């Protein structure tokens, strides 16, 4: 799987958009970008994933650059409950590649 | 739908004791896995299963056994607990090959003295 690079921490004001970057310059053509988050002491939670096109769901938007070497997770209106560690993961979809490799992620702190 | 459940939430063991961490899911997911998470680190895969009767090793399998007799249950057994196994353990499941969205349980905090 391609490795990812994320900033260790970020701050965001409550109600503002939180933009979390991720670099994955060695991503291959069949690898997806996944985002999970882990709120303190809880199990990781799936947020969103994408291959080439930008994606949006009820939680967030995912913007993937045209060369697919980086992406940004956008939380449009961050709340205090969005304070968590956010993990960007690149992997093949399905098949025998079952392992999710979590790095250290980005600690997002949403401030009142 | 309870999702992925884990018991117990907390456990303290003495070195050499054995125990089983329970994991169950009610979503009819084929794939289940066990991870451990140590302070300041990401999750590391211990064992996984692609269906009932099938299990395989992950990154850090030593000291742990698993079995998958039913689709719903995937227990993790510590054979002889060691202080190095002090960690938070997460069980996860996913539906099938097509999707990689994993659903995680709430975790079990294990301390081995």
B26 or A3: which leads in pLDDT: B26
Least trusted range by pLDDT, from A30-44, B57-71, B92-106:
B92-106
pLDDT number for residue B6:
97
Give A-chain residues touching B106 at CB under 8 angstroms: 42-43
Contact: A93, B102; criterion CB under 8 Å: no
Strand A106-111 to A9-13 pairing: parallel
Chain B hits for A62, Cβ within 8 Å: none
**CA–CA distance, A21 with A90 (Å, rounded to integer):** 13
- List of residues 6+ apart from A88 with CB closer than 8 A: A4, A6, A20, A22, A24, A33, A34, A35, A71, A73, A103, A105, A106
Judged against a pLDDT cut of 70, whether residue A100 lies above it is answered with: no
Nearest CA to B74 among B95, B54, B58, B98?
B54
pLDDT range class, residue B100, cuts 50, 70, 90: low
What proportion of chain A, given as a percentage, has pLDDT over 90? 71
Phi, psi of B41 (to 5 degrees): -120, 165
Cβ distance A94 to B99 less than 8 Å, yes or no, reads yes
Chain B CA closest to residue A104: B42
Total number of residues shown for chain A: 112
Cross-strand bridge partners of residue A94: none
Q: What are the phi and psi torsion angles at B91 (to 5°)?
A: -100, 145
* Strand order across the beta sheet in which A61-64 lies: A18-23, A70-75, A61-64, A55-56
Max CA pair span of chain B: 42
Percent of chain B with pLDDT over 90: 79
pLDDT, residue B39, reads 82
Q: A25 or A41: which carries more pLDDT confidence?
A: A25
Q: How many CB pairs under 8 A join A and B?
A: 56
Whether residue A40 is predicted with pLDDT greater than 90 in this model: the reply is no
Chain B contact for A104 (CB, 8 A cutoff): yes
Indicate the average pLDDT of chain A.
Answer: 90
**pLDDT greater than 60 at residue B53:** yes
Neighbouring-strand partners of residue B24: B5, B73
Chain B residue with CA closest to A44: the answer is: B104
Q: Does residue B59 register a pLDDT over 80?
A: yes
Q: Give A36's contacts in chain B (Cβ within 8 Å).
A: 102
A12 neighbors A18 (Cβ within 8 angstroms)? yes
Q: What is the mean pLDDT of residues B75-81?
A: 96
The 10 Å Cβ neighbour count of residue A4 is 23
Task: Give the separation between CA B46 and CA B34, rounded to whole angstroms.
Answer: 5
Q: Are A43 and B41 an interchain contact pair (Cβ–Cβ within 8 Å)?
A: no
A104 to B99: CB separation less than 8 angstroms, yes or no? no
Reported as a pLDDT band with limits 50, 70 and 90, residue B99 is: low
Answer whether A43 sits within 8 Å of B107, measured CB to CB. yes
Taking Cα atoms as reference points, which of A30, A31, A36 lies closest to residue A48? A36
pLDDT digits (tens, 9 = 90+) for A51-89: 998 999 999 999 999 999 999 999 999 999 999 999 998
């Amino acid at each position: 799987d391609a490795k990812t690079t994320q900033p260790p921490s970020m701050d965001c004001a409550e109600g503002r958009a939180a933009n979390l970057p991720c670099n994955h310059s060695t991503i291959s053509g069949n690898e997806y970008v996944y985002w999970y988050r882990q709120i303190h002491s809880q199990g990781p939670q799936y947020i969103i994933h994408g291959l080439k096109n930008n994606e949006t769901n009820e939680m967030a938007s995912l913007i993937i650059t045209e060369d697919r070497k980086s992406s940004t997770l956008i939380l449009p209106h961050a709340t205090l409950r969005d304070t968590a560690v956010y993990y960007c993961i690149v992997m093949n979809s399905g098949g025998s590649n079952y392992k999710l490799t979590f790095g250290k992620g980005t600690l997002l702190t949403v401030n009142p | 739908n309870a999702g992925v459940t884990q018991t117990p939430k907390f456990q303290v063991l003495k070195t050499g004791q054995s125990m089983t961490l329970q994991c169950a899911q009610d979503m009819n997911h084929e794939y289940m896995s066990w991870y451990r998470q140590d302070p300041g680190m990401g999750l590391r895969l211990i064992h996984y299963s692609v269906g009932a009767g099938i299990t395989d090793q992950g990154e850090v399998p030593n000291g742990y056994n698993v079995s998958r007799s039913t689709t719903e249950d995937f227990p993790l057994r510590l054979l002889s607990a060691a202080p190095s196994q002090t960690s938070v353990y997460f069980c996860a499941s996913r539906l099938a090959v097509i999707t990689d969205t994993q659903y995680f349980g709430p975790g079990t905090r294990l301390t081995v003295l």
